[in-house]
Amino acid sequence: MEFEAVIGLEVHAQLSTQSKIFCACSAAFGAPPNENTCPVCTGMPGVLPVLNRKAVEFTIRTALATSCAVQSKSVFARKNYFYPDLPKAYQISQYELPLALAGHIDIEADGGTKRIGITRIHMEEDAGKLVHEGEFAGAQASLADLNRCSVPLMEIVSEPDMRTPEEGGAYLRRLRDILVYLEVCDGNMEEGSFRCDANVSVRPKGQKEFGTKAELKNMNSFRNVEKALEYEIRRQVEQIEDGGTVAQETRLWDAAANVTIPMRGKEEAHDYRYFPDPDLLPLIVDDAWIDALRKTIPELPAEKVARLASTCGISRYDAELLSSSRALADFFEASVKIYGGNPKVSANECIHWKDAVAAGKISPETIAHAVEDRETGKISATASKTLVELVIRTGKPLRQLREEKGLSQVSDAGALEETVAKVIAANPKEAESYRNGKAGLLSFFVGQVMKETKGKANPKIVQEVLKKKLG
């Protein structure tokens, strides 16, 4: 029997705000333990949460970029459970009435486009962090750091529309790229600012009903999500083929062993007793606010790839490499605006120097001038590379360095004639042999001229002048 998988993904994305979602503590990563805490985020009695406007705006912008319907009224609820990383004993989240519903993202799949539905996007706060035994030798306790408590998150829940691990990976990457383009999340999976849980089940191909699903957690890279899905799909199919049934359970991905293992059950864990948080009035979003935010949505990755590939004369592959970062794509466009030439060359240069671009070490002018000077024969390919490296090291403009370091090459035939004549006069035997048909000696003469000019001559022009003088 042939099986197919049904995959839905839940992403928790940390919003790139300065402060936390309900208090003015810093939301920055990596502060000393409990440095970023206050009575609000540590759940002291008598405090009131006040909602961060920017966190709302980031979520609305994400909703707009994924074609969701932004709800004019959404409600924060308390999700109740006890855990030492949760000092209030409840997490403020949105439950029955989330901020956004019913959107979608288009992904590339099987050489075409596939639309993956988004069920909902809601806002919530993060929990703290526990350091466990093992990390502290001999610890009989767990240690709680509440810096992360109340850092703003949005949860993006997909429809169960994906059928293969590759589609899951494509959806996640596309979603991450969108969030990074919007500058609402840094998209860093390893640091935990972009986390993914997966719901996966299998069913005989052609069957309409879903099979029993397992929830997968603990995958901290795109590759691990794909590997965990692959493993879990195979496990479920084998289970069924062996006459067994799939249990509805939560499983953890073990990246070292490359398997999913059942999480030890907390049977009552799902009785969260949600109710509207009396401390927070409904979140009201009017059309004017949505319209204003709609204007801030930049060109998104899929649109950018399509536009660069169709209007800039570069391949779709290069367009995708450039669009992997909004800054890199912008850099490329700025660069070809300064010097058009062959955009393919500019694209290659931008991709080659992308780390320097990201670090702000070179400007679009650097690449534009390097490409222009090369195409007009003012510098050699080697000099071009040397010059960009010098720009990175010194911060000086490329053309200034070109002059300072004497890296221009002589492309003026007239200026080279004298040197060529000198070289021919110094090697009469070789000149004679060349004239008698030993054409291979041309490269010898080119080498001599290059040596004479300390590599500054344009080899192409040198050849032309040599041929003329020797011929």
Partner 1 sequence: MAITREEVLHVARLARLALSEEEVDRLRDQIGNILDYIRQLDTLDTREVVPTSHAVEMGTPFRDDSVCPFGDKEAILSNAPDRFEDFFRVPRILED
Q: Using CB under 8 A, list all residues that contact partner 1.
A: 17-19, 24-26, 32-39, 42, 44, 50-56, 73, 75-76, 80, 82-84, 97, 130-133, 139-146, 252, 261, 263-264, 268, 271, 273, 276, 278, 280-284
d(CA 126, CA 151) in angstroms, rounded, equals 5
Residue with Cβ nearer partner 1 (244 or 282): 282
d(CA 51, CA 37) in angstroms, rounded, equals 16
| Cα distances (Å, whole numbers) of residue 345 to 14, 341, 399 | 37, 8, 19
**Residues 162/171, Cβ–Cβ less than 8 Å:** yes
Give least dist CB 251 to partner 1, A. Answer: 10
Give least dist CB 280 to Zn ion, A. Answer: 15
d(CA 392, CA 398) in angstroms, rounded, equals 10
Residue with Cβ nearer partner 1 (80 or 463): 80
Binding at 39: pick from partner 1, Zn ion, none (beta carbon under 5-8 Å per type): partner 1
Residue with Cβ nearer partner 1 (32 or 428): 32
* Count of CA atoms in the C-beta half-sphere (13 A) of 166: 5
The first and second tokens of residue 238, run together, are 């084998």
Give least dist CB 224 to partner 1, A. Answer: 17
- Residue 31 interacting with Zn ion (CB under 5 A): no
Which position has the token pair 């994924």? 66
- Residue 461 interacting with Zn ion (CB under 5 A): no
Residue with Cβ nearer partner 1 (12 or 54): 54
Residue with Cβ nearer Zn ion (42 or 335): 42
d(CA 155, CA 153) in angstroms, rounded, equals 7
d(CA 63, CA 69) in angstroms, rounded, equals 7
Binding at 50: pick from partner 1, Zn ion, none (beta carbon under 5-8 Å per type): partner 1
Give least dist CB 150 to Zn ion, A. Answer: 6
Q: Which amino acid is at 342?
A: N
**Residues 400/429, Cβ–Cβ less than 8 Å:** no
d(CA 279, CA 78) in angstroms, rounded, equals 10
Q: Coil, strand, or helix at residue 175?
A: helix
Residue with Cβ nearer Zn ion (89 or 426): 89
Residue with Cβ nearer partner 1 (17 or 66): 17
Give least dist CB 356 to partner 1, A. Answer: 31
Give least dist CB 314 to partner 1, A. Answer: 38
- Residue 41 interacting with Zn ion (CB under 5 A): yes
- Tell which positions 349-378 bind Zn ion, by CB under 5 A: none
Q: Coil, strand, or helix at residue 227?
A: helix
Q: Which amino acid is at 311?
A: T
Part of the chain binding Zn ion (CB under 5 A), chosen from 23-31, 242-250, 373-381, 420-428: 23-31
What is the residue-wise DSSP string for 197-213?
Answer: EEEEEEEETT--S----
6, 31, 38, 130: which one contacts Zn ion (CB under 5 A)? 38
